[in-house]
Amino acid sequence: MMDPNQMDPNQMDPNQMDPNQMDPNQMDPNQMDPSQAGQMGQGMMDDAAQQAQQGMDDMSQRAQQGADSAIDQAAGNIPGGQQYAQQAKDAVSGGMENVQQQGQDMLGNAQQQGQDALGNAQQQGEDMLGNAGDQLGGMFGGNQ
């Protein structure tokens, strides 16, 4: 018969933590703090918005150059066309500026919607972690 004061060598002391289990009070170094994830997501969205803006600017500039070239070519083929070339270029430029402004507005709206969604997801993640922490605390005697 075994002495009740001696522990079975095949059983772990309940006061010692299994080295294969993580202390619920310590964060896994492989997991990210939700606020850091939100900041990272925000940075990625800002980068994407900058790239989209740069792409729109580049595309607008190339389109304007192409339109100016086409106008100059057409004006050169029409007798007296050169005197109207600048008016045509100005009209095309104004239309392109309107289109670019609409694109920028749409990009701004999309960016705001993305930021709102990111904020909601971050809040949900923090809420879930808080609930999980409460449940773990209850399981391990933290909420008594």
Query: Would you write out the chain's pLDDT as a tens digit for each of its 144 residues?
Result: 556 556 555 555 555 555 555 554 555 545 555 556 566 667 777 787 788 888 888 888 898 999 999 999 999 999 998 999 999 999 999 998 998 888 888 888 888 888 888 888 888 888 888 888 777 777 776 555
Q: Give the C-alpha separation, 1 to 3, whole Å.
A: 7
81 burial level (CB within 10 Å; 0-12, 13-18, 19+): middle
Whether this model's pTM surpasses 0.95: no
Amino acid at 79: P
Burial class of residue 60 (count of CB atoms within 10 Å of its CB; 0-12, 13-18, 19+): middle
Question: Would you say 104 and 56 are in contact if contact means Cβ atoms under 8 Å apart?
Answer: yes
